[in-house]
Structure 1
């Protein structure tokens, strides 16, 4: 005959179950308060030295000061930012790996059918950092000082003018391809894995013009080694109003880029909320906003939900541009 447990035994069992339940819940509730308890990795999907890398290192430094933990920048360039972005997607969803993404993140879904991740499903959006300024630059010897002159030269002999970009599928490539579509300029695209290798060929004259982030170009412009023909933004930069927009020459032309932060999908909600709020907190620091302005980035610092909506809208926006330009992944 089976004996029913005594009343004291039942009390002990109930207390044990309650204690176990509390222990199970404790890590989830304590997760955000304890995070980060060790160094954190920030993946940058482009090589060191470019504007994206500079922005990433600025944010890493400030987050490290806020958290009293090291934030290690891990550059993973390649395949139009896909290599580094895949590293983020495949990392453990614990908050200790997150990364910066650029416009290629929302362009690649229209450009490639073989992405090793789902841009919407495999990531946790954290915050939209801001919008950098893309500039069309040329070597000083290039026989045109403005967009009109560039178009005339390119049209005169299609295929004679090549333009550098920061990689296949990046906004810098689409900036040139969009110009080709709007003007029949016939420029030839030369992709590079980031700013540093692009500038190697631009400064040596191997490629005469390029679409690059304005901040990374400015030291070369000030040194007289490059000249700015125009910027891709819809309006003139508030920081550098003397640079004309390409749209002032090509009606309707405009192209905005972006910087944002994402983590792997499945991130615990408390950790995701802390990462997002701390990124926003850093972006609201006056010295950070000033530095971002110096880097030609208009800071935003959006919520995670707003950035998720931006990602979806950008994917939708780029699809017809990629199709119209006939861009093919290599």
Structure 2
């Protein structure tokens, strides 16, 4: 049996991405696979379990951009991201969304920038937590737009969304899937998406990069194994991942959540992780971001 550790609580975006995929991979491999949710410490607890597991292909990590971000954000990790993990494959990627209250005066990215420059530090944005991917999306926006926004971290996305809808905060960086129904229902206004290109899931909504050149902050989901896992095991898992992720029904499900299938090879996934570590380290250092 293959154990797939998810370092998040059940029912979140990673579960949505993972459960149908793992079921199809299990059928393709001809052996059972189970998802084991091990949340805590900003994904560090579950990630550490995989880092220290036997490298035999029977313990995997299904995680997000958080693995790359934590490499520089968390000062004393119990594992070495570069030495303890190897890629199985990227699953999918997609944007976060900058949203505001429907009655807010901020209708465009330029509106936000102008207001922030006129009143440095007075405009705020909420996120699902300090050090989360959506928090770092906000910090990258501040960095590239050269503005001062006040970050308001919450213990989860739900409370942040509630305060935005209640008018207690100005803006939120949320996940595409998490805010979709609220935007469609008129309870939030989508100002921009954080991906390099516009997405069909948010038709007509521009990217932040159209106003702030060079801005891109997609969230991604991927499978990893402990370092030292034999190449033949990684290749077998990757082949099953690729077939499951590229099934039309699964692709359609992800598109509805604003995500796109983007499977790569084990070697490319490891290289991609290194590049993401370097990219987010720059944001963490320049923004003086801390989880303490």
| Counterpart residue number, 1:155 | 117
Query: Quick check: 208-217 or 233-242, which moved more?
Result: 233-242
In the alignment, structure 1 residue 308 sits paired with structure 2 residue 277: no
**CA distance 1:48–1:210, change in 2 (3 Å):** farther
| Cα pair 1:49 1:196 within 8 Å, conserved | no
2:137 and 2:255 mapped to 1: Cα distance? 22
| Cα pair 1:77 1:193 within 8 Å, conserved | no
In the alignment, structure 1 residue 77 sits paired with structure 2 residue 42: no
| Cα pair 2:29 2:240 within 8 Å, conserved | no
Deviations 1:30-75 (A, max 9, x none): xxxxxxxx3x332222233332221122322322443455533333
In the alignment, structure 1 residue 109 sits paired with structure 2 residue 71: yes
| Counterpart residue number, 1:327 | 289
Deviations 1:68-109 (A, max 9, x none): 555333333333322222222133333332122211211222
**CA distance 1:65–1:219, change in 2 (3 Å):** farther
Deviations 1:113-167 (A, max 9, x none): 3111111211121001122111111122333122222223333333333222233
| Counterpart residue number, 2:138 | 176
| Counterpart residue number, 1:141 | 103
Q: Number of residue pairs matched?
A: 292
| Cα pair 1:128 1:307 within 8 Å, conserved | yes
Give 1:205 deviation, angstroms.
Answer: 4.1
- SS of the aligned residue for 2:219 comes to coil
Give 1:258 deviation, angstroms.
Answer: 1.8
CA RMSD of aligned residues (A): 2.3
| Counterpart residue number, 1:280 | 242
**CA distance 1:73–1:209, change in 2 (3 Å):** farther
Deviations 1:280-324 (A, max 9, x none): 121121211222222211211111011111111222222222222
Deviations 1:206-257 (A, max 9, x none): 4332112212211111111111010111221244341101122223322233
Q: Equivalent of 1:221, from 183, 204, 207?
A: 183
Unmatched runs of 5 consecutive residues or more in structure 2: none
Normalising by structure 2, what TM-score? 0.89
| Cα pair 1:78 1:84 within 8 Å, conserved | yes
| Cα pair 2:6 2:46 within 8 Å, conserved | yes
In the alignment, structure 1 residue 208 sits paired with structure 2 residue 165: no
Unmatched runs of 5 consecutive residues or more in structure 1: 1-37
**CA distance 1:96–1:111, change in 2 (3 Å):** same
Q: Equivalent of 1:257, from 219, 223, 229?
A: 219
Give 1:264 deviation, angstroms.
Answer: 1.8
2:220 and 2:26 mapped to 1: Cα distance? 23
In the alignment, structure 1 residue 199 sits paired with structure 2 residue 161: yes
